[in-house]
Structure 1
Amino acid sequence: MIDFANGSVFKLNPTPVESLADELSRLLIPEETILAAFKGPRDFVAFTSKRIVAVNVQGLTGKKRDYSSLPYSKIQAFSIETAGTFDLDAELELWFSGLGKVRFEFKGSADIRSIGRMIAHYVL
């Protein structure tokens, strides 16, 4: 599992959902769809209709991958922080029962308010 306790996990940029569809299709359950996708230099995160899937690409070749599934049903609280003038990154913090805090950093081009609204839709 990804070490979420070790600070921010990724600096993420928005990416087309279609770019991760093949990679994640075997992990999704029936009627689960990818709603939003974000990529870092190697790692990526997908927000689905059921959970958040964080993928940590490992090794020199990138063939080894760790898939962490974070169900919305286990989120106890969440926080968003928008990008500012000097701090260009936005942040999403989620508190999961049994796991603790998970933090994702997004590049300023990510619409963090929409991400927060999506999380609220599935959590509240």
Structure 2
Amino acid sequence: MGFLDALLGNASTANKEDVTEELSRILVDGEEVDVAFKLVRDLIVFTDKRLLMVDKQGLTGKKAEYHSIPYKSISHFSIETAGRFDLDAELKIWISGAEFPAIEKLFRKDDSIYDIQKVLAAVCV
């Protein structure tokens, strides 16, 4: 996927080594990045311990919010795939005890939503 896909909101697989280096101050000792997806400037990162949602903010993207969700706290998730006229796909993640999703991410018509769903299904067994 290229630059245009990123601008349109399509996720792409991110390089694990680059993500590990970028998150070196966030990851705990021994924690490893399993797979990561880049969505424009944001990241969806699956480690061996938790799910990290990185929301880069501001004009330069230097300000960031790091949302850490232990896998055991994810009660369920859903994906809504894009259709012919509705080009947005959506990922929703609920945490234990919450009535509404804690995470909602929009994607453009793109197969990466299926890849993210497969990883979530594997870690939330």
Measure, in 2, the Cα distance between the counterparts of 1:71 and 1:115: 16
- Tell me which residue corresponds to 1:116: 117
**Off by >6 Å, runs of 4+ in structure 1:** none
- Partner Cα distance (2:121, 2:13) in 1: 21
Q: Give how far 1:90 is off.
A: 1.7
More deviation, 64-73/95-104: 95-104
Query: What is residue 14 of structure 1 aligned with on the other side?
Result: 12
In the TM superposition, 1:1-124 aligns within 5 A as: 11-18=9-16, 19-29=18-28, 30-40=30-40, 42-97=41-96, 100-101=100-101, 102-124=103-125
Question: Could you state the TM-score of these two structures normalised by the residue count of structure 1?
Answer: 0.73
1:21/1:34 contact within 8 Å kept: no
Tell me by how many angstroms 1:119 deviates: 0.8
The question of whether the paired residues in 2 share the 8 Å contact of 1:76 and 1:95 is answered with yes
CA contact (8 A) 2:78 2:93 kept: yes
With a CA cutoff of 8 Å and minimum separation of 6, indicate the structure with the bigger relative contact order. 1
What RMSD in Å do the two structures reach over aligned CA positions? 2.2
Gaps of 5+ in 1: 1-10
Separation in 1, partners of 2:120, 2:81: 15
The share of aligned pairs that are identical, in percent, is 43
Give the AA of the match of 1:112: I
Q: Could you tell me how far apart the structure 2 residues matched to 1:121 and 1:16 are?
A: 19
Q: TM-score, normalised by structure 2?
A: 0.72
Q: Is the 8 A contact 1:15 1:38 kept in 2?
A: yes
Q: Deviations over 1:65-117 (max 9, x none)?
A: 22111221101111111221122222111110255412111222233223222
Contact 1:14 1:110 (C-alpha < 8 Å) held by counterparts: no
